[in-house]
Structure 1
């Protein structure tokens, strides 16, 4: 939903009621980047989306970053941005059905988990010495769909976050075009591979009461509901933080009701879907209930832990910036914003989806930690092709 988010933000500005979003932001540059990915047949329909960082405890400088490439599969690259491994998506289970399409990835201990939105499944990979081995069970079930016919509607496994709770690996998965978050537990399949089972679901709202007493629902493509994608577990509390793209950032506790902690700037603004442009177009002014720091889509979320302090980074895809929040108890306190601009080693970042962070020193290249992020408009590009990749930023550069 990248383009829709951009247009909504731009049209909101023309109403004359929003501040200049980029004002006062810290400008940072990337230290390295991956090779470009091209979303066409010649490029293997590779479209970068979401990164995850695997830290080599014995040799931190040999740590690797994983990145989903949608139909292009899963890439693994070193801290220079060089690809060291790549996995293709699985083929369609039957002729005429959807093949694999890798959307989000996360890592717990030495296990990487990926949402295959094409086939509505999870895939799992064991990580050892920076090399991945596919350990997905042949009997892994569908995550949301009742059968493969329903999978073809593509209301399938989308966003993903994973954590360890009381020794059990728990995975949160969002459903594309819906407001549902499913919770799964990874389990062995008895044949040396890994499968999963459902342990619950949470359904977030699709409409909201505004301060003037009216009810508002975000504009979506007809038939869709306001979906979620970017997520991260807080490993100190086991709370899940989830970005509902056109709404804002939620905290979903293990017990108790979800709380909407941060709203997007478009929250509460009336808009209609234009069938010709296939975009949402604002029809009213910015709402007094709107947020101040995120422009839809609210996307990648990741948490840095250092000296007892937790910091949440959130991608503000609509204006190609990032918001930084101190995690004050179970609240979010906005601290700063930044953008990744063109630099000597890499171009800047636009319309970012996923992000990942570690505060672990990773050798001389990233001595204070790493912020890995998707770039939705890699340059230099090609006017006839959609180019994307991943950027690696030294953590000490961030505010």
Structure 2
């Protein structure tokens, strides 16, 4: 557990003895000038009659100083710095956030009359509000909200509610609002939260906990739910009395301590936030709202004083230093997804693709449920079969196995209940799957499995265990029963799982979760010397999970699940294993399919399965099912989209 996170949890429990104070370091707009802020009453505020006022981004104003406001009496307003109204959306509104969207502005607020979060587009140059998009009324009071845009230009709205309730909603794509909003996920937030802000470039969500401190959460819809402290109340941080409203700028955060009438500045450094300065606001008794806009001299500032009702404006001679961000990976969207598996928690694991020999559209995707058994889906993700044979982990398929004089296709799976290899016969005409026996292994904890067809004929299975052991079995029909003969052993130094055999090259590719991907001769009499294919590092992030092989007529690619950063690495399957790139499976807002993350197993085929799978299909396990949140499932992606994203042949 992160030490800062552990420290702040103890603070929340009032048992913080021995935790370190949040560090302080000077950083800012000018290294030679201490940060300072100069504020004075904004005379036009009384004309606007609003508590929450925000700047319109400079790129939309053609040099003018334009602002928006939420007013309980007058609605949502666009006006200039003199308080002259330029456009109005009538209603009773409070709190604000906005994002530039092309040549327009998307504004989020709370409709106090209906208690609904509301979004509306604003044509700034045309001085016209668009038709509002209302989120469904919640069963809790929404205290605050903020907008966030991901690297794929999807727009999300975070809701902050009473008693630690929070939600993330998909509300727009590109420069447009969607016709309806769709909830992506629920978030457990602090019980005293009222304000939030998002840093799009860093994919971070900042939330206050009034009597404790400021928190940073991952904002990406596929991210795990976790948090780190930005600052805590004294004596464990620099906040004297309370954590209040915030304003986020790339590389940093500004926050109000409204009870102490102070403005706090923070610079991001890796996963920590350095306290730059605590600036007194002596003319304000209870600073409640905060807005900033970068300019040549630092940051232009707006602060609302709740005690007097006055809005103050001025200049802060500081800007945070931009931080380096992770390169944006290409993103593809799934066109289909399977029905959720029938068990909670970490259940779905590994897929395989069975290709129908004469009618490709009747092909099936097999998937393991490691709390249940083997599942079979059609190409639209509908569950067709469920075989409750035990805790299956990985699965693989090969065609044309002669069993008792009948040609079948064979699926094998690693069975963690019995540390065995479970066997399944697939009828080549109907696709129906039936149990076909079991092969015991001496493995203490069986884990991964894959099949191999050598040039000399026959069929082999590789099974591995968590201790690094690999066992190779020759599969054969003995009087109508499939038996396995152990023909070879070798090992890697630490835990493996995913593997795939290249029948053309007679090579086995295997993953060592914390180390990387190796190649080894797949033949039973071959050498067991390992050759490094790709090591864990800047591109491939542990854990190394599923490995699959895409084989066209003249080109082959390895596809690897890089679980540590929710991505998929693609490289040539022949030495020197040239890297072709990495990508993510993002959400498909139009079809209501969420992205994929924390992927265990994956599979790919180059077979033409009909539209939209003419160039094949990539199937990935989704470890965090969102939109709606339910049990895990598998996502189907056209290989044509992968090839387009990475400019493959």
Q: Does 1:331 align with 2:598?
A: no
In the TM superposition, residue 261 of structure 1 has moved relative to its aligned partner by 2.1
**Counterpart pick for 2:535 among 259, 263, 271:** 263
Q: Does 1:58 align with 2:358?
A: yes
Larger C-alpha radius of gyration, 1 or 2?
2
TM-aligned CA deviation for residue 381 of structure 1: 4.9
SS in 2 for 1:37: coil
Give the 3 Å change call, closer, same or farther, for CA 330–13 of structure 1 in structure 2: farther
2:539 equivalent to 1:241: no
For the 8 Å contact 1:356–1:373, the answer to whether it is kept is yes
2: CA distance between counterparts of 1:200 and 1:53?
Answer: 27
Report what 2:567 is aligned to.
321
The offset of 1:13, in angstroms, is 6.1
CA pair 20-248 structure 1, distance change in 2 beyond 3 A: farther
Task: Report the CA distance between 1:167 and its aligned residue.
Answer: 1.6
Query: Which residue number in structure 1 is paired with residue 482 of structure 2?
Result: 194
1:143 counterpart = 2:445: no
Residue 107 (1) aligns with residue 107 (2): no
Residue 285 (structure 2) aligns with: none
TM score, norm. by length of structure 1 = 0.74
Give the superposition deviation at 1:308.
1.5
Aligned pair partner of 2:553 in 280, 290, 307: 307
The question of 1:379 aligning with 2:626 is answered: yes
* 2:636 aligned partner: 392
Maintained 8 Å contact 1:46/1:73: no
Larger RCO (CA under 8 A, 6+ residues apart): 1
Contact persistence 1:118–1:156 (CA under 8 A): no
Whole-Å separation in 2 of the counterparts to 1:13 and 1:199:
50
Give the whole-Å Cα distance in 1 for the aligned partners of 2:513 and 2:475. Answer: 27
Q: Assess, with a 3 A threshold, how the Cα gap between structure 1 residues 15 and 185 changes in structure 2: closer, same or farther.
A: farther
Superposition pairs of residues 165-244 of structure 1, within 5 angstroms: 165=454, 166-176=456-466, 178-190=467-479, 192-205=480-493, 226-244=494-512
**2:141 aligned partner:** none
Query: How many angstroms does 1:46 deviate by?
Result: 7.6
Q: TM-score, normalised by structure 2?
A: 0.46
Query: Aligned Cα RMSD in Å?
Result: 2.5
Number of the residue aligned with 1:88: 388
SS in 2 for 1:365: coil
Spell out, residue by residue over 1:227-281, the C-alpha distance to the aligned partner (whole angstroms, 9 max, x if none).
10111011211111101001100111243311122111xxxxxxxxxxxxxxxxx
Aligned partners of 2:448 and 2:496 also within 8 Å: yes
The 1:13/1:233 distance shift into structure 2, 3 A limit, reads farther
Write 1 or 2 for the structure with the bigger share of strand: 2
Query: Which residue of 332, 342, 361 corresponds with 1:28?
Result: 332
Superposition pairs for residues 6-25 of structure 1, below 5 Å? Answer: 14=271, 20-21=325-326, 23-25=327-329
Structure 2: how far apart are the matches of 1:87 and 1:38?
12
**Post-superposition shift, 1:117?**
1.4
**1:20 deviation in Å?**
4.3
CA distance in 1, matches of 2:462, 2:417: 18
Question: What displacement does 1:24 show?
Answer: 3.6
How far the C-alpha of 1:121 sits from its partner, in A, is 0.6
Contact 1:381 1:387 in 2 (8 A): no
Partners of 1:173 and 1:62 in 2: CA distance: 29
Structure 1 residue 19 displacement after superposition: 7.0
